[in-house]
Amino acid sequence: MNQPRKAAALISGGLDSLLAAKVMLEQGIHVEGINFYTGFCVEGHTHAIRKKDQKKPKRNNALWVAEQLGIKLHIIDIVEQYKEVVFNPKHGYGANLNPCLDCKIFMVSKALEWIKANGFDFIITGEVIGQRPMSQRKETLPVVAGESGAENLLLRPLCAKNLPETLPESAGWVDRERLFDFSGRSRKPQMALAQRYGFEDYAQPAGGCCFLTDAQYSVKLADLWKARGRKQYEMDDIMLLKVGRHLRPTPDFKLIISREEGEGNFLQGYRKQFPSLRTISHPGPLALIDGKVDDQDIELAARLIARYSQGREAEQVEVEYTATNGELRSLEVSPLKPHEIPEEWFI
Amino acid sequence: MNRIELDCRRLLCPMPVIRVQNRVAELEAGVVLEVYCTDPGVLNDVPAWCRINGHKVIETRSESGLYVLVIEVGESE
Ligand code: SF4
Mutational pocket test of ligand 1: of A209, A217, A218, A221, the residue with most ligand atoms within 8 Å of the beta carbon: A209
> So what's the pLDDT on residue A3?
83
Within 8 A of A64 by CB-CB distance, chain B residues are: 48
* Pairs of residues, one from chain A and one from chain B, whose beta carbons lie less than 8 Å apart: 65
Q: Which amino acid is at A279?
A: T
**CB of A210 less than 8 A from some CB of B:** no
Chain A residue with minimum CA distance to B54: A72
**A158 and A23 in contact (C-beta within 8 Å)?**
yes
Sort A197 into a burial class: Cβ within 10 Å, 0-12 / 13-18 / 19+.
Answer: middle
The answer to whether the CB atoms of A59 and B48 lie below 8 A apart is yes
pLDDT digits (tens, 9 = 90+) for A310-342: 999 999 999 999 999 999 999 999 999 999 999
- Average pLDDT, rounded, for chain A: 92
The answer to whether the CB atoms of A60 and B14 lie below 8 A apart is yes
- pLDDT band (50, 70, 90) for residue B1: low
Q: Report long-range pairs for B4-7 (Cβ below 8 Å, ≥24 apart).
A: B4/B31, B4/B32, B4/B33, B4/B34, B5/B33, B5/B34, B5/B35, B5/B36, B6/B33, B6/B34, B6/B35, B6/B36, B7/B36
Q: Which residue has the least CA distance to atom 6 on ligand 1?
A: A100
A23 has pLDDT over 90: yes
**A208 and A219 in contact (C-beta within 8 Å)?**
no
B24, part of any domain: yes
B77, part of any domain: no
Map residue A4 onto helix, strand or coil. Answer: coil
Pocket of ligand 1 (CB under 6 A): A 98-100, 103-104, 135, 208-210, 212-213
Shortest Cα–Cα distance, A52 to chain B (Å): 13
pLDDT digits (tens, 9 = 90+) for B8-59: 998 888 999 999 999 999 999 999 999 999 888 899 999 999 999 999 999 9
ipTM strictly over 0.90? yes
**Which segments of chain A belong to CATH 3.40.50.620?**
6-212
Shortest Cα–Cα distance, B2 to chain A (Å): 25
B38: containing domain: 3-72
In CATH terms, is domain A6-212 a member of 3.40.50.620? yes
Residue B56: give its domain's CATH number: 3.30.110.40
Total domains in the fold of chain B: 1
Query: Whole-angstrom Cα distance, residue A273 to residue A325?
Result: 9
